[in-house]
Amino acid sequence: MGSADEFIKLRCVSKEYATASALRGIDMVVEKGQWVSVVGPSGSGKSTLLNIMSGLDNPTSGQVVIDSTDITAMKEDEMARFRREKIGFVFQQSHLIPYLNAVENVMLAQYFHSIADEREAADSLERVGMGHRIDHKPSQLSGGEQQRICIARALINSPQILLADEPTGNLDRENTRKILELLNRLYSERQFTIILVTHDPFVAQWGRRTITMEDGKIIRDEYR
């Protein structure tokens, strides 16, 4: 086990594209159990940062260490296993499988991890207030309901880290508040580490720490 105060550590992480520098030498340390909001203008590198932390994307240079493991040195299959065991995702678009119902969508995440268990998947939907919608397909659910299912899916394998990229970006204020109350309740029950990207100051204030990015750099890092 790694040190809890350096649970996630980025060292001089850069991401260069032919036409743009998405990240310019990011240094960042996240403690275990922290809830960090990442804000900043469009194009400032927030999604790139999240994708690199999850190993979905590789930095051009620099190092990402999670729980004492250098993920930038991992082979693809090792990375896939590491991600399955440690990390849950929620995106702006729900990425639910359209022809599977709610409980089947959650079971799919279990299946990739170990063994699918319908009872456990149904329980996890119950915990996010979706127990009455387990046999609904995504097209039969509202945007807020779809995001609840995504949260159930992201947390079904008890990951230590939840990465969320604009999870409420498509929701109105009322549904945004409901999703954050839900996340907050699950967070206080299980104390996983949350890194949440958002444009919305209302959403950002749920974290105790806010990192502001601009032009591929961290320009502010504040605690409240």
Ligand X SMILES: Nc1ncnc2c1ncn2[C@@H]1O[C@H](COP(=O)(O)OP(=O)(O)OP(=O)(O)O)[C@@H](O)[C@H]1O
Among 37, 47, 147, 198, binds Mg ion (CB under 5 A): 47
* Residue 17 contact, options ligand X, Mg ion, none, Cβ 5-8 Å cut-off depending on partner type: ligand X
For the CB of residue 187, give the shortest distance to Mg ion in the complex, in Å: 22
28 near ligand X, rule: CB under 6 A: no
Q: Which two tokens stand for residue 12?
A: 């001089």
Binders of ligand X among residues 104 to 133 (CB under 6 A) are none
Contact region with ligand X (CB under 6 A), list: 3-11, 16-24, 138-146, 172-180: 16-24
Nearer to ligand X, 17 or 223 (CB): 17
* Residue 42 contact, options ligand X, Mg ion, none, Cβ 5-8 Å cut-off depending on partner type: ligand X
Q: DSSP readout, 11-36?
A: EEEEEE-SS-EEEEEEEEEE-TT-EE
Identify which of 11, 77, 28 has the alpha carbon closest to the alpha carbon of residue 193: 28
For the CB of residue 25, give the shortest distance to ligand X in the complex, in Å: 14
* Residue 22 contact, options ligand X, Mg ion, none, Cβ 5-8 Å cut-off depending on partner type: ligand X
Gyration radius (Cα) of the chain, Å: 17
For the CB of residue 45, give the shortest distance to ligand X in the complex, in Å: 4
**In which element (H, E) is residue 198 found?**
none
CA torsion sign for 74, 75, 79, 81 is negative
User: How many amino acids of this chain bind ligand X (CB under 6 A)?
Assistant: 12
Q: Burial-class residue 17 by CB neighbours within 10 Å (0-12, 13-18, 19+).
A: exposed
**Pairwise CA distance, residues 159 & 65, whole Å:** 16
**Pairwise CA distance, residues 195 & 211, whole Å:** 10
For the CB of residue 109, give the shortest distance to ligand X in the complex, in Å: 24
45 near ligand X, rule: CB under 6 A: yes
Using CB under 5 A as the criterion, which residues of the chain lie in contact with Mg ion when the complex forms? Answer: 47
Using CB under 6 A as the criterion, which residues of the chain lie in contact with ligand X when the complex forms? Answer: 17, 19-20, 22, 40, 42-48
